[in-house]
Each structure stands twice: as structure tokens, then as C-alpha cells.
Amino acid sequence: MCANRFWGDRDDEILNAIVVLSNYVLIPAVAYGSQLALGALGVTLIYGILRFSNFAHGDTMAFGAMATILVTWLFQSWGISLGPLPTALLAIPFGIMATAALLLTTDRLVYRFYRQKKAPPVILVIVSMGVMFVMNGLVRFIIGPNDQRFADGERFIISAREFKKMTGLSEGLAFKTTQGITIVTAIIVVMTLFWFLNRTRTGKSMRAFSDNEDLALLSGINPDRVVMVTWIIVAALAATAGALYGLDKSFKPFTYLQLLLPIFAAAVVGGLGNPVGAIAGGFVIAFSEILITYPLKRVLKYLLPENLEPSTLVQLLSTDYKFAVSFTILIIVLLFRPTGLFKGKSV
Amino acid sequence: MRKLLLATTAVALTAGFASAEDIKIGVILGFTGPLEAITPAMGDGAELAIAEVNASGALLGGSTVSPVRADSTCIDAGAATAAAERLITSDGVKGIMGADCSGVTGAILSNVALPNGMVMISPSATSPGLSTAEDNGLFFRTAPSDARQGVVMTEVLLEEGINEVAVSYVNNDYGKGLADAFQAAYEAAGGTITINAAHEDLKADYSAEVGALAAAGGERLVVAGYVDGGGSGVVRAAIDSGAFDTFHFPDGMISAKLVENFGSDLDGSSGQVPGTNSDGAGIFAKLAGDSFDATSPFAAESYDAAALIMLAMQSAGSSDPSVYKDHVISVSNAPGLKVQPGQLGLALQALAAGVAVDYQGASAVELIGPGESAGNYRQIGFEDGAEVTVKFR
């Protein structure tokens, strides 16, 4: 009886530790990683096919999210909703269309000129920074610099209180609807993208163009069409990633500028130009940012015997240094493995 | 020609009344910047007191007072210093009502008020650092120091039986000052602070910060931030992840927006905000009428700051800052005739007749220590998704 009780308590402790870790590290990191992966996919596609680092990507995401929000508000005013799911899901396709129109216009007005002049990539990078400032201004001009809320429907799949009641554990586990949607949408988008790149004629011609531009042109691939399709796909990725991030966290134009660093870190860590790498990179960055700044005290409290319980927080870095983590990973990868974890192009 | 003659005679006549002067008082507040939402009502509060004194005609043998507004910007110490310098050198003010934010107030005090010997009464600078700033007896405030708020918070929490809390503060002078003051008071009273961590304002996501707070644990989370900024983000993330069930909110978080954002999720939480149930607050609201919102933060304190300057002048019988600075404390504290808002004319006549005055004003002013308000707080609780007043402290 006594022994049973002891082992029962021990199991509870281990379960509690797992729940704490899932609640504060696993679930947030998987959701954040999916958002980063979608962003990094866009960056990596532009790098692979158009051959430059697009600094305007963060603000493209902001624009896509903004367009989605505006359509969401319109739907909400019409009384259209998805029941327990956020209305924003219905609005994302319209956000994608608006973003595609913006990107194609930008390409026509700005990038095409430099492409025809065969400008070196570094000039295109600087050009993209100019585009970034214009887009940032545009977004703030249209929707304002403040926080916007557009999430509706059920907030939680499982809330912390319900979880505690259900399991009787002392730790709660929260799983937000937006986190679930983020993960599911990311999986669908990534699967569609890979199917497109590997199975369709257009996708194959894009990969050919990326591998060897001259050879692709000789074999009769229309470069304008490849460029156009690339921008449309990038618009879809950026608008989806932006809307999901805004839905899960909160929408504020400036935060997308801050997202640029982890997104680039993800793309570079995975190997620029390599879509699989971009996804892996997104999760590597998300997990390291969250794990390194998470204090393990509460987890260890459950796992270690009582006399070994840590008195400090067991936190490697204070949360203020979250962005330093992606910077450090970026530098380490560039120093020791410039082509990234998966073979991409050297930066 | 005749008009010119008349005009010159008029000028000569006014110049003849040497005793009655036109006194200028600077009203320096952040009319632009992060506090621009509440500074108009603060400026109106100060000018209401000035208008009341002018209407009575009892100040220093019929002197009139005119306010001169200047912009402190709340955050730019250089611009605030230049604006205050202008008030003294070019407008010739005899006293300054302001400034508003703690950072610029300290800058004006050390760079302008001290070298020029100018009296300053701030209605809203709450940083504990200003209590010990060198001021030659020139600086006062009708707002309490956050050191006092730290003590009030400690009392509220301990009375509710909360002995262990985590603190998240916004990373600026206000947040850091308040969090440190609270930590000192709470630990001295036997409470335990498991973590005292900063959060940056205006981020999209605070789940990492809340993860750290949750790991440290505590019975309640103290959020010393802004309701329009990161403070609400921290509360949202804490509720979502189930890290904390109840919270404690200092003044920066108390607003109708808080209940609107979180509703019944806050049940069982606590808080406090400067406020009083004195008669003065009600009278002040009636005086203000529809011209401005008398319950806007620090509007009452602004009225009182301007009133104190003029009462001190009357008590000293001089508008010279180096003379009347010694009278600010005596007119604001007992003993004396208790003075409510709207009775400034009466108080001026009493002072002229040699009767002592104990100014109560709109915010129940009582200056302690180095000349700062003792501070009255409204203790707040949250029940059934609504904010309720528990009591006044």
C-alpha cells in the first residue's frame, strides 16, 4: 500500500514535469516554429529563384495580415463566422490576393528594372530594404501603428483550468485554438508547396530555374512566368504566416520588423534556397529561443528528489535576450557551416 | 491721437498700482507624447484654480494671474529643459506647475529650477528618486511617491494573506522605481518575491516572460506596467497558460480597459490607484462641470498644485519664489482653516487677515517629508467581471 502510494506520487511528478514543459516550451515552440517556417520558406524561395535576400519579407507578412484583418472585420460586420474557428481563416485567401497584387506591382515597378540590368544581389538587397520601409509605412498608414484584435471564436481547445480538472494534476496545460490552427495550416501549406514544386510542371520549371538559370532558359522555360509564380507563392506564404502570427499573438505593424531576424536566421540555418531546410531552421530557432530562455526550476522540482531541488531559476539567459539567441545561432552557422544544416547556397 | 493719449494714460495708470501685478505661472506638461491623452485635463485643472483666484481678486492686493503653457514632451529631457528655460527667461513666470513625467521633472528641476531659484510643484511625477533629489526647498509634488504606493501594495497583499508574489514590471523609470519600492517594502514586511523581472513594452508575445514568471511561482502576479501596453500582454499570456489565477495591479494598470480586456478572468485580483473619497474630489468635479473631465488622472492634483503656488504667495505676501517657497508646506498642512476646491477666494482673504490655512483641495493634500503628498489610495478588487472599490487608504 505504502509502496504503491509512493510510486503513484512519483508518476504524478513525472507527468507534472512533462505537462509544465509542454505548456511553456513544447506547444508555444511548435506554434512559433510553424510561423517562422512559413516565413522562412518565403525568404528561401526568393533567394533560390530570384537570387536575393528579401528584407521586405517581414513587412510583406504585415501587409498580408493587415489585408486579412480588414476582410475579417468586413465579414464580422456582415455576421459571417466560422463558429468555433476564427473568421480570419475565411479571410486569409483574400489577404493572399491583396498581397499577391502588392508583390506583383512592386516587382513590375522596382525589381524588374534591376533584374533586366542584371544588378548584383547586394544591390537588390538594398533595394528590398527601401521596399521594406515603403511597405511598413503603407501598413501603418492604412491600419495605424496600434494593436489590432481580430481573433474570435473559441479561444481554447483545452484551457489550463479544464485540463487540471480533467486530469487531477497540479499543473495545467493550455492549448489555444490559434496554436492548433497555426500548426494544422502550416502542415497543409507545406504539403501543398512540396507537391507543387515536385509534381507540377510549373513547380519543376521553378526548380530548374533555381538550379541553373542558363540551362533553364535554353530549355525554353519562360523566366517571366517563373518570376510571377514565385511572387504569388511568396505572397501566399507571407500572408498566411503573417495572419497566423497576428491571430496567435497580436497584430502590430512593428512586430513584423522584429520577426525578420529570426526568419532570416531560420532560412540561413536550414540552408538558403532549400525549402526543407527552411522548415527545419524555423523549428531549430523557435526551440532554441524558447528553451534557452526558459527557467527549468519548476520542471526540475518535479523530477529531482527533494533535497536536490534547485534554489535558483536554472535559466540560461534572461528572456530579454531572446533575439540574441537567433543572432548567435546565425553567426555560429555562418562561421562553421555557411551552407546551412541542409545543403543550401552559401551566403 | 486721442486714442493714443488714452492708451498711454491707461498704461500709466496701471503702472501706478505698484502692488497689484500680473503674475505669470508656467504650466509645463507633456501636451505631446505618451501622456497627451490626459495632459489637457491636467492643464485645464490648473487653469481652473487660476481663474478662480482671478475671479476673487483677493490675491496680493488685486493681482491677477495668467497661465503660460509649455510642452514637457514627457520623454525628451532636452526639449523640456529648453521649454522651462523659456518660461523663466522670456515669459518671466513666478512659479511652475509641472512637470508631469518623472524623468523630465528631474531634468527641469536640476537644470532650470535650481539655478534660477524657481518653485516647482509637480502634480504627477511619482518616482521615488525625486524624494531625495537636491531641491533647495523649491520642489514639491501633489502626487505621492511610488515608495508610498509600494507600502500600500504591501499592506493590501499581506492583509489578503498573500505572502509570496512574482513581479513583472515595464522596463522604464516608472516600472523599475515602483517594482524596487515594492520589493523593499514587501520584503521588509516579511513577504517573499520569487522573481522581479522586466518586460519590454509593446511586444506581440509575452509567453516567454510569463514562462519565467511561472517557473519562479508565487501566489499572485504583480504587474507594474501599462494597461495600453505590455502590461495587458503579460496578463493575457499568464491567463492563457494558466500560470497565475490572480493578479495585483498598481496605478498604471487600473482603467476601464482592463476589465474590458479580461472581464471575469480577473475575479479575485486586487489593485490600487491614487484616489480619495474626500469631499474635495466631488466639489472639484462639480466645479469642472462639462468643461473637462475632472476624474481624468491627475487633473485634481494639477488643480491643487496651481492652488498651492498662489496660496503660498498670499501667505508670504510676495510672488518672489525665494520667499514663498517656505510657505508651501504651511498652507497645505494643519493647523488652519480647512479649504476645499471653490473656496480659494475665501482662503486668500483668510491668509490676508493673518488666519492660517490648511488646504485640502481636490485630492486631500497633505505634504510630508521633502514636500510630497502623503498619498491617498483607492484599494480595488475584482468581482464577477467588474471593478469594485474595497476601501480608501
At B138, which CATH number? Answer: 3.40.50.2300
B275: closest CA among B204, B362, B182?
B362
Q: Which residues contact A94 (CB under 8 A, 6 or more apart)?
A: A67, A68, A71
Any idea which residue has 514587501 for its cell? B186
pTM above 0.80, yes or no: no
A170 inside 8 A of chain B by CB: no
Number of domains making up chain A: 1
Per DSSP, chain A holds a count of helices (H) and strands (E) of 15, 2
- Quick: pLDDT tens for A166-184: 888 888 888 989 999 999 9
Q: Which residues contact A199 (CB under 8 A, 6 or more apart)?
A: none
**C-alpha distance across the termini of chain B, in Å:** 66
- Quick: pLDDT tens for A275-313: 899 999 999 999 998 888 888 888 888 888 877 777 777
**Rounded Cα–Cα distance for residues B289 and B299 (Å):** 13
Q: Is residue A344 part of a domain?
A: no
Rounded to the nearest angstrom, the minimum Cα separation between B264 and chain A is 14
Residues B328 and B371 sit within 8 Å (Cβ to Cβ): yes
Q: Is residue B12 part of a domain?
A: no
The three grid cell numbers given for residue B332, joined into one nine-digit string = 497645505
Q: Is residue A133 part of a domain?
A: yes
Give the confidence band of B105 by pLDDT, cuts at 50, 70, 90: very high
For residue A274, give the DSSP letter. -
Rounded to the nearest angstrom, the minimum Cα separation between B235 and chain A is 13
Domain of A269, CATH number, reads 1.10.3470
**Rounded Cα–Cα distance for residues A290 and A293 (Å):** 5
The pLDDT value recorded for residue B9 is 52
Q: Is residue B6 part of a domain?
A: no
Q: What is the mean pLDDT of residues B241-249?
A: 90
Which of A298, A299, A318 shows the shortest C-beta gap to B217? A298
- Looking at the structure, do residues B88 and B177 belong to the same domain, yes or no? no
A28 inside 8 A of chain B by CB: yes
Domain span at B301:
17-144+278-366
Any idea which residue has 501603418 for its cell? A140
Q: Which of B208-212, B283-287, B307-311, B347-351 has the lowest mean pLDDT?
A: B208-212
Q: Is residue A219 part of a domain?
A: yes
- Looking at the structure, do residues B255 and B379 belong to the same domain, yes or no? yes
Sequence letter at residue A275: P
Counting Cβ atoms within 10 Å, is residue B98 exposed (0-12), middle (13-18) or buried (19+)?
buried
- In chain A, residues with a C-beta closer than 8 Å to the C-beta of B208 are 28, 289-290, 293-294, 319, 322
Whole-angstrom CA distances from B295 to A346, B300, B308 are 62, 8, 20
**Rounded Cα–Cα distance for residues A99 and A55 (Å):** 16
Q: Is residue A341 part of a domain?
A: no
Residues B146 and B176 sit within 8 Å (Cβ to Cβ): no
The three grid cell numbers given for residue B376, joined into one nine-digit string = 491617498
- Rounded (10°) angle between helices A253-270 and A322-336: 30
Q: Is residue A254 part of a domain?
A: yes
The pLDDT value recorded for residue A294 is 86
- Quick: pLDDT tens for B2-55: 665 555 555 444 444 446 789 999 999 988 876 777 888 999 999 999 999 999
**Rounded Cα–Cα distance for residues B210 and B234 (Å):** 7
- Looking at the structure, do residues B155 and B244 belong to the same domain, yes or no? yes
- Looking at the structure, do residues B40 and B113 belong to the same domain, yes or no? yes
Contact B208 A290 (CB under 8 A): yes
Q: Which long-range contacts (CB under 8 A, 24 or more apart) does A76-81 make?
A: A76/A152, A81/A152, A81/A153
The pLDDT value recorded for residue B15 is 43
- Looking at the structure, do residues B165 and B262 belong to the same domain, yes or no? yes
- In chain A, residues with a C-beta closer than 8 Å to the C-beta of B217 are 298
- Quick: pLDDT tens for A42-95: 999 999 998 899 999 999 999 999 999 999 999 999 988 888 888 999 999 999
Contact B211 A252 (CB under 8 A): no
- Looking at the structure, do residues B180 and B320 belong to the same domain, yes or no? no
The pLDDT value recorded for residue A318 is 79
Q: Is residue A239 part of a domain?
A: yes
Give the confidence band of B256 by pLDDT, cuts at 50, 70, 90: confident
Rounded to the nearest angstrom, the minimum Cα separation between B30 and chain A is 20
Reduced to 3 states (helix: H, G, I; strand: E, B; else coil), residue B52 is helix
Higher local confidence (pLDDT), A153 or A287: A287
Contact B215 A28 (CB under 8 A): no
Q: Is residue B199 part of a domain?
A: yes
- Looking at the structure, do residues B251 and B225 belong to the same domain, yes or no? yes
- Quick: pLDDT tens for B352-366: 998 999 999 998 888
Give the confidence band of B348 by pLDDT, cuts at 50, 70, 90: very high
ipTM of the predicted structure? 0.77
Q: Which residues contact B102 (CB under 8 A, 6 or more apart)?
A: B125, B126, B127, B129, B130, B173, B174, B177
Percent of chain B beyond pLDDT 70?
95
The three grid cell numbers given for residue A7, joined into one nine-digit string = 510510486
Residues B185 and B154 sit within 8 Å (Cβ to Cβ): yes
Number of domains making up chain B: 2
The pLDDT value recorded for residue B1 is 53
Residues B129 and B59 sit within 8 Å (Cβ to Cβ): no
Q: Is residue B10 part of a domain?
A: no
Higher local confidence (pLDDT), A270 or A347: A270
Whole-angstrom CA distances from B41 to A89, A224, B38, B373 are 43, 60, 6, 20
B282 inside 8 A of chain A by CB: no
Query: Which helix (H) or strand (E) segment is A156 a member of?
Result: strand A156-158
**C-alpha distance across the termini of chain A, in Å:** 64
- Looking at the structure, do residues B172 and B270 belong to the same domain, yes or no? yes
Rounded to the nearest angstrom, the minimum Cα separation between B261 and chain A is 11
The pLDDT value recorded for residue B4 is 58
Reduced to 3 states (helix: H, G, I; strand: E, B; else coil), residue B283 is helix
Rounded to the nearest angstrom, the minimum Cα separation between A80 and chain B is 23
**Rounded Cα–Cα distance for residues B379 and B274 (Å):** 9
- Looking at the structure, do residues B203 and B241 belong to the same domain, yes or no? yes
Residues A301 and A310 sit within 8 Å (Cβ to Cβ): yes
The pLDDT value recorded for residue B164 is 92
Q: Is residue B206 part of a domain?
A: yes
- In chain B, residues with a C-beta closer than 8 Å to the C-beta of A296 are 215
B157: closest CA among B276, B274, B270, B273?
B270
**Residue A44: CA atoms inside 13 Å, Cβ hemisphere, count?**
34
Domain span at A90:
13-145+154-336
- Looking at the structure, do residues B100 and B193 belong to the same domain, yes or no? no
**Rounded Cα–Cα distance for residues A261 and A234 (Å):** 18
A222 inside 8 A of chain B by CB: no
- Looking at the structure, do residues B76 and B198 belong to the same domain, yes or no? no
In chain B, the DSSP E strands lie at: 22-29, 64-71, 96-98, 120-122, 139-144, 164-170, 192-199, 220-224, 247-249, 270-274, 337-339, 357-359, 367-368, 372-373, 377-383, 386-392
Q: Give DSSP secondary structure letters for A163-198.
A: HHHHH--SS---EEHHHHHHHHHHHHHHHHHHHHHH
The pLDDT value recorded for residue A321 is 81
CB atoms within 10 A of CB A342: 17
- Looking at the structure, do residues B283 and B271 belong to the same domain, yes or no? no
Q: Which residues contact A181 (CB under 8 A, 6 or more apart)?
A: A85, A86, A89, A244, A247
Any idea which residue has 507624447 for its cell? B33
Q: What is the mean pLDDT of residues A208-221?
A: 88
**Rounded Cα–Cα distance for residues B310 and B352 (Å):** 12
The three grid cell numbers given for residue B113, joined into one nine-digit string = 529650477
Contact A161 B242 (CB under 8 A): yes
